[in-house]
């Protein structure tokens, strides 16, 4: 999911001077922006980290004066949108020592901003003084990628949050680092958590927050079957894909399920739609929206009901973001052989195995999409699967994979960036009404 809210991502153009830039997106394309969710111990989304990447330095963001302007624009745009939806979500942003000393964090509101101090920042007097001023102004301070070294001890004493990168470390190494900060008052975040086994270990160890895409990978897949309510939801998805579905059939399909009716009306009466009148019936909704748009929204409502108990709502948002991202690419003519509504469904269902904790082979015959699209779920080397790989690269902030699949799919990076930004903006509008 991706966009100006941390939820967005923008692609880097290698030739700035020759780049054709769509109106309104001038500065977004210079750097790749992705968001990663941060969960609390109950699986709720605490906030997001905004990740900036440039092809000049694939591991870290590099900022010159122009880069900072881009960062400020993208981040402030996200904050503005975020504040209009859910102000409880914190936004984590990396700042270099130079940017901290220049006061760059103050471009963002202290109520939601977590200033991440990079691991190579030392506690020199000027840095310490500025961090103290930031804390006095209400900013949270996080120490990024803490490795157990004592040269950051003074910074740790000021930190509200300490982050530990666990991706390449053994459990014993993680435990050793954790015990060096266990007595600190700061909240502890384990980042780059990529599987459920690691997550369970970190949970038991005592970490407060968890960052990574462990939630987007299936677990306990063997021996499971669809529950009756899930089967009924799949039937509704199939019915909604019938090109001959008329108004009366839509009404009959929906009204027998009170839960779907309630959630649909709640969504349509939300600020995301801005109708001047209250929509109080399915017939009223179909009259206002038309059959095609009604089916579009109903698919999302049904999908939200398929998320298995215990799964974070971030999983649903990620699925919707992929769907909208693929649809935006299709609308821009970047998937010329596939209609945009089918690309939306393809992306939206790309995480259905994780939502149901079942392998795709057990549910493929129930999915309301063509066999050629289903191949994208089961054959990682198929051309259509390239779009899923591209979406994952954006979600993970992997600039190398992002560039590789843009090339393989013959997609201009600026077009991908624009589609991703639009998808993130759209998701901000509908997320609060769907979750």
Torsional sign, CA 144, 145, 147, 149: negative
**Residue 32 class from Cβ within 10 Å (0-12 exposed, 13-18 middle, 19+ buried)?**
buried
User: Do 242 and 110 share a structural domain?
Assistant: no
- Residue-wise pLDDT for 204-254, tens only, equals 999 999 998 888 876 655 555 666 667 777 778 878 877 778 888 888 877
Give the range with max mean pLDDT: 48-52, 116-120, 377-381. Answer: 377-381
Specify the pLDDT at position 12.
Answer: 33
pTM across the whole model: 0.74
Q: Which residue has the higher pLDDT, 419 or 262?
A: 419
Residue 17 has pLDDT above 80, yes or no: no
- Answer whether residue 23 is part of any domain: no
User: Do 241 and 166 share a structural domain?
Assistant: no
Specify the pLDDT at position 22.
Answer: 35
User: Do 157 and 297 share a structural domain?
Assistant: no
> Among 162, 186, 216, which residue terminates a domain?
216
Instruction: Summarize the confidence of residues 163-171 as an average pLDDT.
Output: 94
Q: How many Å apart are CA 329 and CA 418, to the nearest integer?
A: 9
Pairing mode, strands 45-53 and 113-117? unpaired
Instruction: Summarize the confidence of residues 402-420 as an average pLDDT.
Output: 91
Instruction: Summarize the confidence of residues 276-291 as an average pLDDT.
Output: 83
Q: How many Å apart are CA 348 and CA 273, to the nearest integer?
A: 21
pLDDT band, residue 139 (cuts 50/70/90): very high
- Answer whether residue 67 is part of any domain: yes
User: Do 104 and 245 share a structural domain?
Assistant: no
Structure tokens at 359: 């392998």
- Answer whether residue 302 is part of any domain: yes
Residue 195 has pLDDT above 70, yes or no: yes
Q: DSSP letter for 308, please.
A: P
Residue 110 has pLDDT above 60, yes or no: yes
Give the domain CATH number at 178: 3.20.20.450
Structure tokens at 98: 């130079």
Q: DSSP letter for 13, please.
A: P
Residues 6 or more apart whose CB falls under 8 angstroms from that of 382 comprise 375, 376
User: Do 268 and 329 share a structural domain?
Assistant: yes
- Answer whether residue 240 is part of any domain: yes
Query: Which residue carries 């699986």 as its tokens?
Result: 43
Q: Using the CB atoms, write b or e for 253-278: b if 16+ within 10 Å.
A: bbeebeebbebbbebbbeebbeeeee
Backbone angles phi, psi at 144, to 5 degrees: -90, 145
3-state SS assignment for residue 142:
strand
Structure tokens at 186: 């700061």
Residue 310 has pLDDT above 60, yes or no: yes
User: Do 154 and 256 share a structural domain?
Assistant: no
Question: Angle of helix 413-434 relative to helix 258-268, nearest 10 degrees?
Answer: 120
Structure tokens at 378: 């089961």
pLDDT above 70 covers a percentage of the chain that reads 80
Find out whether 316 and 329 touch, Cβ atoms under 8 Å.
no
Residues 6 or more apart whose CB falls under 8 angstroms from that of 68 comprise 99, 104
> Among 216, 239, 269, which residue terminates a domain?
216
Specify the pLDDT at position 242.
Answer: 78
Give the range with max mean pLDDT: 73-77, 174-178, 265-269. Answer: 174-178
User: Do 395 and 429 share a structural domain?
Assistant: yes
Q: Count how many domains the chain has.
A: 2
pLDDT band, residue 331 (cuts 50/70/90): very high
Instruction: Summarize the confidence of residues 371-384 as an average pLDDT.
Output: 93
Tell me which residue range forms the domain holding 168. Answer: 28-216
Specify the pLDDT at position 53.
Answer: 54
Instruction: Summarize the confidence of residues 407-412 as an average pLDDT.
Output: 94
Q: Which residue has the higher pLDDT, 407 or 269?
A: 407
pLDDT band, residue 375 (cuts 50/70/90): very high
Average model confidence (pLDDT) across the chain: 79
Q: How many Å apart are CA 5 and CA 78, to the nearest integer?
A: 4
């Amino acid at each position: 999911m991706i966009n100006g809210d941390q939820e967005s991502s923008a692609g880097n153009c290698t030739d700035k001077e020759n780049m054709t830039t769509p109106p309104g997106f001038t500065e977004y394309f210079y750097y790749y922006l992705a968001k990663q969710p941060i969960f609390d111990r109950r699986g709720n989304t605490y906030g997001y980290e905004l990740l900036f990447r440039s092809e000049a330095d694939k591991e870290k963001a590099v900022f010159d004066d122009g880069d900072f302007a881009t960062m400020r624009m993208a981040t402030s745009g996200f904050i503005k949108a975020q504040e209009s939806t859910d102000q409880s979500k914190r936004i984590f942003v990396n700042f270099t020592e130079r940017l901290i000393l220049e006061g760059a964090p103050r471009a963002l509101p202290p109520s939601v901003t977590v200033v991440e101090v990079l691991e190579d920042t030392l506690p020199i007097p000027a840095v310490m003084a500025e961090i103290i001023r930031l804390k006095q102004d209400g900013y949270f301070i996080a120490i990024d990628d803490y490795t157990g070294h004592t040269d950051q001890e003074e910074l740790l004493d000021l930190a509200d949050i300490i982050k530990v990168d666990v991706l390449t470390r053994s459990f014993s190494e993680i435990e050793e680092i954790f015990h060096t900060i266990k007595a600190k008052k700061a909240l502890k975040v384990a980042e780059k958590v990529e599987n459920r086994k690691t997550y369970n270990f970190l949970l038991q160890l005592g970490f407060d927050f968890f960052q990574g895409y462990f939630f987007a990978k299936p677990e306990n897949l063997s021996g499971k079957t669809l529950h009756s309510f899930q089967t009924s939801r799949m039937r509704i998805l199939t019915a909604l894909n019938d090109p001959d579905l008329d108004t009366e059939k839509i009404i009959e399909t929906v009204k027998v399920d009170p839960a779907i009716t309630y959630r649909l009306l709640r969504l349509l009466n939300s600020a995301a739609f801005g109708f001047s009148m209250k929509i109080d019936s399915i017939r009223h909704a179909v009259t206002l929206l038309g059959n095609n748009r009604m089916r579009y929204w109903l698919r999302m409502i049904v999908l939200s009901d398929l998320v298995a108990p215990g799964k974070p709502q971030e999983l649903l948002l990620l699925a919707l973001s992929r769907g909208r991202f693929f649809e935006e690419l299709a609308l821009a003519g970047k998937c010329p052989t596939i209609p945009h509504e089918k690309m939306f469904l393809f992306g939206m269902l790309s995480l259905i195995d994780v939502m149901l904790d079942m392998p795709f082979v057990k549910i493929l015959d129930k999915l309301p999409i063509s066999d050629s699209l289903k191949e994208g779920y089961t054959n990682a080397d198929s051309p259509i699967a390239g779009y899923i790989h591209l979406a994952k690269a954006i979600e993970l902030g992997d600039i190398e994979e992002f560039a590789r699949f843009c090339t393989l799919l013959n997609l201009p990076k600026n077009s991908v960036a624009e589609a991703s930004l639009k998808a993130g903006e759209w998701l901000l509008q509908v997320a609060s009404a769907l979750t």
